[in-house]
Structure 1
Amino acid sequence: MKTRWTPVKTAIALALCGATFAMTPGFAAEQGAAATQAKPAAATMLPGDDFFAWANSEWLASTEIPADRGAWSSMHALADETNQRIVKLIEAAGADKAAGAEARKVADFYNAYMNEAAIEAAGAAPLRPHLARIEAIKSRTDLARVLGASLRADVDPLNATNFETENLFGVWINQGLNEPGRNVPWLLQGGLGMPDRAYYLDNNPKMAELRTKYQQHIAAMLTLAGFDKAEERALKIFALESELAQSHASREESADIQKANNVWTAKDFASKAPGMDWKTFLSAAGLGKQDRFQVYHPGAVTGAARQVMATDIGTWKDYLAFHLVNQYANTLPKAFGDQRFAFYGKALGGTPQQSLRWKRALSATNGAMDDAVGKLYVGKYFPAENKARIQQMVGNIKDAFARRIDKLDWMAPATRAQAKEKVRTMYVGIGYPDKFKSYEGLQVSPTDAFGNVIRAQQFHYRQQLAKLSQKPDRSEWCMPPQLVNAVNLPMQNALNFPAAILQPPFFDPQASDAANYGAIGSVIGHEISHSFDDMGAQFDAQGRLRDWWTKEDLAHFKAASQKLVEQYSSYKPFEDLALNGQLTLSENLSDLAGLAAAYDAYKLKGGEKAATQEADREFFTGYGRAWRTKMREASLRRTVLTDGHAPAQYRTYTVRNLDAWYDAFGVKPGQKLYLAPQERVRVW
């Protein structure tokens, strides 16, 4: 099963749900999060030589990556602890006869997933009616109908580096880029079983090896499902996916929101993307009555339609059958799940060992009923006093950011006024949404794991389609409370800080203000700053994609941003692989501005203690320690190639652009991270 909450993301998230804070382990069961391979620091390591290693030397020396992970970090540890708490709550709900109907559904979903004996007994039988519908395809019209009916609202905007979905397209329902008062359907590229077009097209030995292993995986899955001539079918499926990949946008292209601003009418599809029976497709997808669509990846839509006509129906049927089996492998007998992990966990992620069944069950439950699980969590683990304290910090950091805007000598008064309006009107959700989603009408069986996943996806899709007849809600959350992350929603001009990230090491009620402002304060500042990064700055206070900058201001902003691109492109985790400063620009800008705003807020509100060098050291150390992370080579390589965040080590290097860091630690010329004052990047 492809869970909705997974560990990586990039700038496309800003356009969809929002720009998230970090590569969170979230609910993912197969992969690890972005990190670093930095070695532990020696006792003589100076902060100015490697601040990441200096701040985390003891942790790096004593920590091993668990066998079932591609990486391990403070965020992984926090998510793991949160998940263990949640499982106990679910188990208690299952044993409590007085538990409410929604809590009972959560427990039934989880327990069905845990019932491996029932899953083994069912064998491949749950697949048969779905495979029969695929086998019944006789014409291109039939194919369009099945492709449309298979669409789900499974675009994971928090996992935007993997904006690929195994369905032919991703569907997302939200307000249009030019119409903030109206919800529209968005279409995004999909249809690939590997994370990105680069895995199909890049000409290097590592990618070639993964392509071979992926074809073997396709054949193995088909064999398990009872198909003959599996290798022959796998070759054709891979060839089809390779053709789809040719028309896909790159990561960098997807990060350009202007290229996503394509509004098509229903009639436009036939002329702009010939080859598909679009009337049948859209009707089967529940979109037949829609008159306007936001087509994020027009090239991919056109390319997919072309392949619908160019590729023989038999190959399409095999393609659909494989992806059905591949998506739901973890709710089928153990051999299916093991094979899926062998490719996605071991080959792609470098993870030696599969996660325990309870972790995968919880991941699936979170994906199906995230708000219901979140309600259980916050009721037990998020006290009101923590919410109040975080709200105060948010207010302080918003004030500090507004003050920074006032001090920008390069910004014109008109631009400054609109920037401050964005900060002033920003909705900030703390802990949990004002209104939880309802799961009334979702049928959950205590014995049918496969059916539960299918029904939950269909239920979610219907909920999303219902938004097409509703006005956009800027207080709607994009994250559940139990996710260790945070998000900026530019089209809503809103921020979400889930309860699960509002605990140590990010927020500790017992820690000093300096440490808390360095850790969770930088997270808050980061999300505020996403409203003014290279993509967020293109949206106004109402969430409309609009140019509200003067030409001179925009030119200055782009020039300053380019310096950050160059700085991050100079970092090389491997001899043959450097960071992509353009791909990571949005996050790097927000790291820089967010850390600076959090520092200002602490200095303004921290009283006499905040004026000391000791306090500054605590502040920056709190920031550095929040990023402690270790990663296996395969996962780190994938992160560098596909993630909009720089690996953790390089995110801590943000400090080298702040003058206060040099004063706090006595950083001098000759130390590796030292930048002369004129070389330090200053944007906001």
Structure 2
Amino acid sequence: MPIQKPLVAALAASLALVLAASDADAQRRAAKKPTTPAITACSDFYGFVNKDWLTANTVVSGTGAVSALGQLQQRALLQQRSLLDDAVLNPQNDVQKLLGDFWASGLDEAAVERDGAQPIASLVSRINAIKRSKDVAPSIAALHQVGIPVVFNFTADLDLADLTRHVGYFSQGGLGLPDPAYYTREDADTRALLGRYTEYVEKILQLTGTAPDQLKADMQQVIDLETRIARASKPITSLRDPRENYALVPVAGFAKQFRQLQLADFLQAQGVSDDSVSMANQDYFTQVDALVRTLKPAQWKVYLRYQIGRAMAPYLSKDFRDADFQFNGRVLRGQSAPPIRDVQVLDAINRAAGPMLAREYVARYLPATTRSRADTIAGEVRTALGRAVDRNSWMSDAARAEARAKLEKLTIEIGAPARDLDYTVQPMGRTSFGSNMLIASTWHHREEMRRIGRGNADRRWDVLPQQPALAYDLAHNRLIVSAAALQAPVLDMEQDTAAQYGSFGALVGHELSRAVDTRGRLVDAAGAVRTWWTPQDESAFNARAGQLAVQYSAYDYPAATGLKVNGTLTRDENVADLAAVELAFDALSTAQPELDNATRESFFRSWAALWREQLSPETATQAASTSVQAPGQWRANGPLVNQPAFAETFKCKAGNAMLRKAEEQVSIWR
């Protein structure tokens, strides 16, 4: 809180007195002007509940947005910083010692400057030692091992034919520009972008050892090779469907099929012994294999050295970081300034050592009492969804039976995944952030590769526990609740039970409804990918969802002049928000059958407080056409106007904005 200087306060008070006494006539004239009606619970519940917050949290043009959930994210980042600061001063275990050294080395900018390009010196030396074409493939494999994917990507992901395990995925990659089309399109904008990219390539090559008189030639070598790789690549739009990227193939023939890339040896180097992998675009690897055979080793040396510098630039000295920001930050992402140093370092630690930080974060910031309360509420909301499935009128008997079976198998994971990670890592020091980044990246890659071939796919989360998140995992029929989410405003242990159902319980309902809605219908209770709704189920659901879309399309978009909410774009999220309130209120009513009015009020107030936000006009205008979620005002109010219990609680009457006629109300699970 800023401290007000006495002189400023005195002047402000004096000015207020002058204005109050200067023109009595003006006051009388002003009093006759029509006044804006006071906001009430039944006119705008969102504005009524969040009035003080909205007044205290404003945004100006060009500054983006501020929201309650955004503030939660910021708090989680501050908690991570606090944990790392303590790990620097007083580490309590081996993992904290690693994290403390990692954090301290990144914040010591003087040490980072002294280090220069030294962290990548051994990698560059290995590449410079390439003499023959057969030396290229082992160098590619070695870079993948330290977390620098070159030429192609190789990752662990779900086997779409068996969702209980991971397989290795070979896919296209190896480019410095985000879209292969940028290398071949001839329009002016693309040519201009490519021109900026060539400047960046030159700068990275200079920093990694190319002599000044050789820069242009080496840059052309890199661009030429990347262009060849781009021509072998599929359009980026074709990669959005996971099914198009999946094709299980045996690895037995890789030694002969890809002689130059030596992919059988590559897998061995990554510690992968599975007998099959996914390779949906074999032609890409055939063409790249031919490039290793036909292009001179000298060209591969320049390309691979550049890829090392490009990948590591954000973690090295300022000249590397400046080059990275000028192109990747300013040109590609439109950023006006790089993040401050501690933000950069924290991002790097989460990227390379996120699971290590997660272990310590959960231990510090997730008390057993909070975990237990979350588990209880989530379980009761799941039970409420089961009751809703049994009583709903729009599902067929077959769909209802399948939905029940899914809910019986649905699991709830609170705080962090059950992992079997090996935290054995090469020791870090405090003098070389870049070297620590490579140590952590090597560890991260090793642990990712260990997932391949095992029947433990459900031990993986797509979010880190230190990142606030609630999500329904469709592949494994489970609810994931991260440790960072279990604090205000999502689960405030200082609030009463009703408020906890109105916030956390409702968010659980939002996510659990996905198990049996238009998204959940794509995977059945056995984990098979199939549509288990009948056409009649889909038609009935769409009729209700369509009514909701019409409702939302009539709402003005806050802060965006003359725009309405796109009810069609936001339809599925709006349905889930309606389900959230329906299910959470049912769970609360069952847990506390004798609900008094104050308890009901607490529930609805907590729901509305979740969605408080302020948007700049620019952010609002963009969100109106792109966001699949309605703005906060309507995420709060939209479901409530369809809830008889809300109108009853706040005694709303016919004609009030927060009460729809009974025949206009939409229900999904009520």
Instruction: Please report the TM-score for the alignment, with normalisation by the length of structure 2.
Output: 0.74
One-letter amino acid of the structure 2 residue matched with residue 265 of structure 1? P
Retained in 2: the 8 A contact 1:564–1:585?
A: yes
* 1:81 equivalent in structure 2: 75
Aligned length: 621
One-letter amino acid of the structure 2 residue matched with residue 176 of structure 1? D
Worse overlay, 120-129 or 660-669: 660-669
| Seq. identity, % | 25
Q: Equivalents in 2 of 1:634, 1:318: separation in Å? A: 42
The 3-state SS of whatever aligns with 1:118 is helix
* 1:624 equivalent in structure 2: 611
Are 1:437 and 2:421 an aligned pair? yes
Retained in 2: the 8 A contact 1:522–1:623?
A: no
Q: Per-residue CA shift, 1:347-388, capped at 9, x if unaligned?
A: 454544433322322232233333332333333332222112
Q: Per-residue CA shift, 1:591-631, capped at 9, x if unaligned?
A: 45444433433344354236987456415413422xx2647
Worse overlay, 368-377 or 658-667: 658-667
Retained in 1: the 8 A contact 2:411–2:478?
A: yes
Q: Out of 259, 267, 270, which is 1:286 matched to?
A: 270
Relative distance call for 1:205 and 1:638 in structure 2 (3 A) is farther
One-letter amino acid of the structure 1 residue matched with residue 237 of structure 2? A
Q: Per-residue CA shift, 1:233-252, capped at 9, x if unaligned?
A: 675477457546753235xx
Q: Out of 93, 96, 107, which is 2:100 matched to?
A: 107
Relative distance call for 1:53 and 1:147 in structure 2 (3 A) is farther
The 3-state SS of whatever aligns with 1:328 is helix
* 2:84 equivalent in structure 1: 90
Retained in 2: the 8 A contact 1:173–1:184?
A: yes
The 3-state SS of whatever aligns with 1:468 is coil
* 2:643 equivalent in structure 1: 660
Q: Equivalents in 2 of 1:126, 1:333: separation in Å? A: 10
* 2:584 equivalent in structure 1: 598
Q: CA deviation at 1:393?
A: 1.0
Residues 377-388 of structure 1: pairs in structure 2 closer than 5 A: 377-388=361-372
* 1:492 equivalent in structure 2: 476
Relative distance call for 1:614 and 1:559 in structure 2 (3 A) is closer
* 2:402 equivalent in structure 1: 418
Q: Out of 117, 131, 153, which is 1:124 matched to?
A: 117
Q: Out of 305, 330, 342, which is 1:358 matched to?
A: 342
Gapped regions of structure 1 (runs ≥ 5): 1-41, 155-164
The 3-state SS of whatever aligns with 2:527 is coil
Q: Out of 235, 247, 252, which is 1:247 matched to?
A: 235
Q: Out of 218, 230, 247, which is 1:262 matched to?
A: 247
Q: Per-residue CA shift, 1:38-75, capped at 9, x if unaligned?
A: xxxx9878999998788766656654679999765434
* 2:383 equivalent in structure 1: 399
Relative distance call for 1:655 and 1:260 in structure 2 (3 A) is farther
Are 1:474 and 2:458 an aligned pair? yes
Gapped regions of structure 2 (runs ≥ 5): 1-35
Q: Equivalents in 1 of 2:537, 2:424: separation in Å? A: 50
Relative distance call for 1:182 and 1:201 in structure 2 (3 A) is same
* 2:169 equivalent in structure 1: 186
Q: Per-residue CA shift, 1:167-226, capped at 9, x if unaligned?
A: 555444355222245442234554454566798899999888766655544444344434
Q: Equivalents in 2 of 1:234, 1:667: separation in Å? A: 71
Q: CA deviation at 1:328?
A: 1.7
* 1:221 equivalent in structure 2: 204
Q: CA deviation at 1:457?
A: 1.8
Retained in 2: the 8 A contact 1:166–1:193?
A: no
Relative distance call for 1:671 and 1:294 in structure 2 (3 A) is farther
The 3-state SS of whatever aligns with 1:264 is strand
Relative distance call for 1:145 and 1:66 in structure 2 (3 A) is farther
Worse overlay, 654-663 or 394-403: 654-663
Are 1:327 and 2:311 an aligned pair? yes
Relative distance call for 1:267 and 1:580 in structure 2 (3 A) is farther
One-letter amino acid of the structure 2 residue matched with residue 178 of structure 1? A
Worse overlay, 607-616 or 388-397: 607-616
Structure number having the greater helix percentage: 2
One-letter amino acid of the structure 1 residue matched with residue 320 of structure 2? F
Q: Equivalents in 1 of 2:62, 2:608: separation in Å? A: 29
Q: Equivalents in 2 of 1:580, 1:192: separation in Å? A: 37
Relative distance call for 1:187 and 1:420 in structure 2 (3 A) is farther
Are 1:336 and 2:338 an aligned pair? no
Larger Rg: 2
Relative distance call for 1:369 and 1:206 in structure 2 (3 A) is same
Q: Per-residue CA shift, 1:616-667, capped at 9, x if unaligned?
A: 6415413422xx26479599969977x8x54755982782596128848969
Q: Equivalents in 1 of 2:278, 2:622: separation in Å? A: 32
Question: What RMSD in Å do the two structures reach over aligned CA positions?
Answer: 5.1
Higher relative contact order (Cα pairs below 8 Å, separated by 6+ residues): 1
Retained in 2: the 8 A contact 1:177–1:544?
A: no
One-letter amino acid of the structure 1 residue matched with residue 250 of structure 2? T
Q: CA deviation at 1:548?
A: 3.7
Relative distance call for 1:316 and 1:50 in structure 2 (3 A) is farther
Instruction: Please report the TM-score for the alignment, with normalisation by the length of structure 1.
Output: 0.73
Relative distance call for 1:579 and 1:324 in structure 2 (3 A) is farther
Q: CA deviation at 1:439?
A: 0.8
Worse overlay, 433-442 or 68-77: 68-77
Q: CA deviation at 1:107?
A: 1.0
Relative distance call for 1:231 and 1:259 in structure 2 (3 A) is closer
